[in-house]
Amino acid sequence: MPGETPTVAAITTAWRRESARIVGALTRMTRDVELAEDLAQDALVAALEQWPLTGVPINPAAWLMTTAKRRGIDHFRRADNLRRKTEELGQALVAGEEEQVPDLDAQVDHIEDDVLRLIFLTCHPSLSAESRAALTLRLVAGLTTSEIARGFLSSETAMGQRISRAKKTLSEARADFELPTGTERDARLDDVMAVIYLVFNEGYSAAAGEDWMRPELASEGIRLARMLAELMPLEPEVLGLQALLEIQGSRLAARLDDDGAPVLLEAQDRTRWDELLVRRGLAALRRAQALAVRGRPIGKYFLQASIAAQHARAPRAEDTDWRQIARLYDVLATAAPGPVVEVNRAVAHGRAFDPAAGLAVLAGLTGDELGGSPLLPSVRGDLLERAGRHADAAAAFSEAAALSRNEAERSVLRRRAEENLASVSKPG
């Protein structure tokens, strides 16, 4: 709250919430993504120094942007040959301005667009797929280098070097910050959708740390998907991505119980699902379906949204049409084959038919394809539990718990292992 003495954690949270917009706006102004991030970091340092003494400003976002701009002006003043940019950045700054930035209020829409521009920039063809993902998580999602390194099963040093090289590559390529058009935009679209999905997923199920979810990241992913759908309203896949994130995002409030423990899909109180997000998601899916009927191509996001819609339309878990979901996963496995799809297809077949059918799908996976993820053993444990093979299920859940890097997920897996061990010891 304005005027309060904030903690370091509160200041850092406020900065991370605004960092993508600040970096995006500064990149547009400076045409240098590395400089933009440095200026944003300088604003954080200034907030850590001043807010504990002065309290939180009335408009924290404007304060951070003003401070970052001032740092930019200082930088360009020191660089004598860039005085033109000094004037460009300094137009909106007047003497004594701290809490409000007149041009910031007038540029709200531009700042919103700046985040999407930043994603198109991080998906530049000069970068590798892993570098695009890492840079997006750093600049757009605001994750630390160590958090990104855990997600990629890499060392912090190696990930820091990768991110630095990616920034340097963009600078050397003289990457344009403006939104690409025509064939260039189409060429980057798949990567842009992939990184938006990546941002959402890191919020929906955090890869590491104590919290199972980071709702602010999930919300940012939904917002970016909506913006992309507004930019490209005739692309069924873009609408499919929006639908998928809206529907999955509707479950966030139901994914934790009153004690903060994770709640799996089938046990969730569906009255806690966000009805507005469900309606928005289903509406986006209907628009995508109408375009598909007219011959526009569809793909994995449309199919995943169609699967999510089956859950959203079921008033109770037992009303879910698992056979239709299994059919959709069969199509998805052909359209976008991969180990994660196969694991989810096993879940669907296990529910639609019997646990043996799900285990048969899993039989083709070794676990190496998932890079040490707990997903495969956790799903195997669930199917074994449903088959009444509790000793095997306990072993699978224990294996999954050992692989998990998320404390909340790990606690759920350990509990399920213990429950199955208890079932083994019961008479009969």
pLDDT in tens, 281-294: 999 999 999 999 98
What local confidence, expressed as pLDDT, does residue 98 receive? Answer: 43
> 252: closest CA among 301, 224, 219?
219
Place of tokens 């903060």: 260
State the maximum Cα–Cα separation within the chain, in Å, rounded to a whole number: 84
pLDDT in tens, 41-60: 777 777 777 788 778 788 88
What local confidence, expressed as pLDDT, does residue 73 receive? Answer: 67
Q: Which structure tokens are listed for 219?
A: 């919300």
DSSP characters over 267-327: GS-GGGS-HHHHHHHHHHHHHHHHHHHTT----HHHHHHHHHHHHHH-SSGGG--HHHHHH
Contacts 24+ apart (CB under 8 A), 30-33: 30/72, 30/85, 30/89, 31/177, 32/171, 33/118, 33/121, 33/139, 33/167, 33/170, 33/171, 33/175
Confidence grade of residue 186 (pLDDT, cut at 50, 70, 90): confident
Q: Which structure tokens are listed for 177?
A: 């910050």
What is the DSSP code (8-state) at residue 180? P
Region of poorest pLDDT, from 198-212, 292-306, 399-413: 198-212
Q: Higher model confidence: residue 186 or residue 241?
A: 241
Please tell me the distance from the alpha carbon of residue 184 to that of residue 182, in angstroms, as a whole number: 6
Per-residue pLDDT, averaged over 160-168, amounts to 87
Asked if pLDDT for residue 201 goes beyond 60, the answer is yes
Per-residue pLDDT, averaged over 293-315, amounts to 93
What local confidence, expressed as pLDDT, does residue 282 receive? Answer: 96
Asked if pLDDT for residue 214 goes beyond 80, the answer is no
Please tell me the distance from the alpha carbon of residue 194 to that of residue 245, in angstroms, as a whole number: 12
Please tell me the distance from the alpha carbon of residue 150 to that of residue 201, in angstroms, as a whole number: 15
Asked if pLDDT for residue 274 goes beyond 80, the answer is yes
What local confidence, expressed as pLDDT, does residue 314 receive? Answer: 95
Single pTM value for the model: 0.72
Please tell me the distance from the alpha carbon of residue 289 to that of residue 412, in angstroms, as a whole number: 37
Rank 30-39, 71-80, 207-216 by mean pLDDT and report only the highest: 30-39
Torsion from C-alpha of 346, 351, 355, 358, nearest 10 degrees: -10
Q: How far is CA 143 from CA 24, 147, 156, in A?
A: 15, 6, 12
